[in-house]
Amino acid sequence: MAEISLVKKGAQLELEIERLVFGGRGLAHHDGFVVFVDGTLPGQKVSARVVKKRKGYAEARVESILRRSARQVEPQCVHFGECGGCRFQHYAYEAQLAAKLGQVVESLEHIGGFSNPPVLPVLGSPEPFYYRNKMEYSFGRQRWLCREEIENDQLAKPKDFALGLHVRGRFDKILDLDTCYLQSQLSVDILNFVRDFAKESGEHPYTTVDHTGYWRHLVVRDAKQTGDLLVNVVTADHKDHDLLVGVLAKKLLQAFPQITTLVHNINRRKAQVAIGDSERIIYGPGTITEKIGDCTYQISANSFFQTNSLGAKILYDKVLDFAGFGENDLVFDLYAGAGTISIYAARRVRQVVGFEIVTDAIKDAQMNCGLNEVTNCSFVAGDLKSSLVAKEAVAAYGTPDVLLIDPPRAGMHPDVLNQVQILAPGRIVYISCNPTTFARDVQILCDTKYELAQVQPVDMFPMTPHIELVSLLNRC
């Protein structure tokens, strides 16, 4: 008689969580099936209900914890469990690092096809809390109703106004944060002040549903090394911004003399991004200065910058270490952003050429070269798919000795990978914030000309499932 599987949609199962997989879900086995359970930790025994069944695996939702994990700790934040920010505050930091190492190794083995990949233990963040130099909060008309207020029937706050972070998996709901362990207490105080003002202003949060409302985002950039503090208020358009953001700015500057610059971005589009079509500088220079190691960087409200300044030093030092630069080396820095790594490397080599699609980032990069008295960096604007046409780049600058590659989460486009293979430098240092696309890309490089020599994960995002890594590929 054929066996009937117990893993069916709606079934309640007792599961032993074995480990965390990419994205931070717990993995268990039941009845020959892999079952993924969100919000669980290795070592926990849980009662969970199957919500999805596919060929070979299922997904289940936790109903109760039957046994705690030995590495479980008390979360510090009252919003833990509901906020999309810190998902692992209840997991000992050393255990988080071990889980992240497992995810990098697993990606390289399963996606990249490497056996025993050369992955070093994860380097932890110097600060596991309050490490972010940038927080982007959202306004919303649908406040998430917290467990506690529902249980205690204390629905005192209005339901149609919130400023905070998205609830995990719910892009329509905003958790009205009044505390946070990711940035600084000052950032949280500014958040609470702005919310109180906006609520009293008579204007609603913006909604994409009918493209109405005013308040859209609040961005706080808090330089950890210099104390500079940028506040960026993002709104929709309005006939009288001075009555709204203008008054808010005056009050904020009075209440928080620590603010060194205040800007207003106006986003007239439907896209829910904190980048405006136009920016008004209301106070100060419109930029902040931050340091990584002994390099100084000027950052505007909208430019990309590593969010963990102290972690970035560890990451960039590893880049220098792996690259083993010589003073005659020509280096191509692909996906250069505001030239942060180019500038960090420049003093050790003959020349760096950075390639970047965002022209404003290139302007920042050029300005940052001046700030650091770096004269041997140049930048090429454009999409790498066409700007790194190997023949043209080589004709203009020569054949690079080292490539630094730091793509977005999606990894390298096949056309870029192709060009990299044509350039074929002796060493490639690949930096990635996504072990799965990294594993895919290095497999392609290692199938032809390269050997994966070392991988160093660096934890830039404590309390979250994310991990950054630096790797060295040597040409065979």
The residue range among 38-46, 65-73, 274-282, 331-339 that interacts with ligand SAM, by the rule CB under 6 A, is 331-339
In the region spanning residues 405 to 434, those forming contacts with ligand SAM, defined by CB under 6 A, are 406-408
Q: Does residue 146 have an active-site annotation? A: no
Examine residue 384 and tell whether it contacts ligand SAM (CB under 6 A).
Answer: yes
What's the rounded Cα separation, in Å, for the pair 22 and 361?
30
Examine residue 310 and tell whether it contacts ligand SAM (CB under 6 A).
Answer: no
What's the rounded Cα separation, in Å, for the pair 317 and 323?
10
Q: Which is nearer to ligand SAM, 206 or 430 (CB)?
A: 430
Which residue, 317, 293, 292, 286, is CA-closest to 307?
292
Helix, strand, coil: what percent of the chain each, to 5?
25, 30, 45
Q: How far is the CB of 406 from ligand SAM (least distance, A)?
A: 4
Q: Which residue is nearest to ligand SAM (CB)?
A: 337
Examine residue 304 and tell whether it contacts ligand SAM (CB under 6 A).
Answer: yes
Site string for ligand SAM, 126-165 (x = CB under 6 A): ----------------------------------------
Q: Which is nearer to ligand SAM, 306 or 351 (CB)?
A: 306
Q: Which is nearer to ligand SAM, 89 or 302 (CB)?
A: 302
Cβ atoms < 10 Å from Cβ of 31: 14
Q: How far is the CB of 306 from ligand SAM (least distance, A)?
A: 6
Q: How far is the CB of 361 from ligand SAM (least distance, A)?
A: 5
CA distances from 440 to 121, 219, 223, 430 (A): 21, 34, 35, 12
Q: How far is the CB of 169 from ligand SAM (least distance, A)?
A: 24
What's the rounded Cα separation, in Å, for the pair 142 and 311?
35
Task: Please provide residue 122's backbone torsions phi and psi, each rounded to the nearest 5 degrees.
Answer: -65, 135
Which residue, 137, 335, 328, 98, is CA-closest to 219?
137
Q: Which is nearer to ligand SAM, 161 or 335 (CB)?
A: 335
Length of the chain: 476
Q: How far is the CB of 167 from ligand SAM (least distance, A)?
A: 26
Task: Please provide residue 188's backbone torsions phi and psi, each rounded to the nearest 5 degrees.
Answer: -70, -40
Name the token pair of 369.
């070269």
Q: How far is the CB of 120 from ligand SAM (least distance, A)?
A: 20
Examine residue 403 and tell whether it contacts ligand SAM (CB under 6 A).
Answer: no
Q: For the packed helices 435-448 and 93-110, what is the interaxial angle rounded to 10 degrees?
A: 40
The residue range among 77-85, 102-110, 152-160, 382-390 that interacts with ligand SAM, by the rule CB under 6 A, is 382-390
In this structure, what DSSP letter does residue 396 have? H
- Per rule CB under 6 A, count of chain residues that contact ligand SAM: 18
Q: How far is the CB of 382 from ligand SAM (least distance, A)?
A: 7
At residue 156, the 3 state secondary structure works out as: coil
Considering 180, 433, 446, 476, which one is annotated as catalytic?
A: 433
Q: Which is nearer to ligand SAM, 139 or 332 (CB)?
A: 332
Question: Residue 25 CA to chain centroid, in angstroms?
Answer: 18
What's the rounded Cα separation, in Å, for the pair 251 and 344?
39
CA angle 93, 96, 97 (to 5 degrees): 95
Continuous H helices in 23-143: 93-110
Q: Which is nearer to ligand SAM, 213 or 457 (CB)?
A: 457
The residue range among 13-21, 133-141, 401-409, 450-458 that interacts with ligand SAM, by the rule CB under 6 A, is 401-409
The residue range among 117-125, 135-143, 206-214, 400-408 that interacts with ligand SAM, by the rule CB under 6 A, is 400-408
At residue 111, the 3 state secondary structure works out as: coil
In the region spanning residues 336 to 375, those forming contacts with ligand SAM, defined by CB under 6 A, are 336-337, 340-341, 355-358, 361
In the list 261, 265, 306, 471, the residue contacting ligand SAM (rule: CB under 6 A) is: 306
Own/partner pairs, 248-251, CB within 8 angstroms, 24+ separation = 248/194, 248/197, 248/198, 248/201, 249/282, 249/283, 251/193, 251/197
Q: How far is the CB of 332 from ligand SAM (least distance, A)?
A: 12
Residues that bind ligand SAM (CB under 6 A): 304, 306, 335-337, 340-341, 355-358, 361, 383-385, 406-408
- Kindly list the catalytic residues: 433
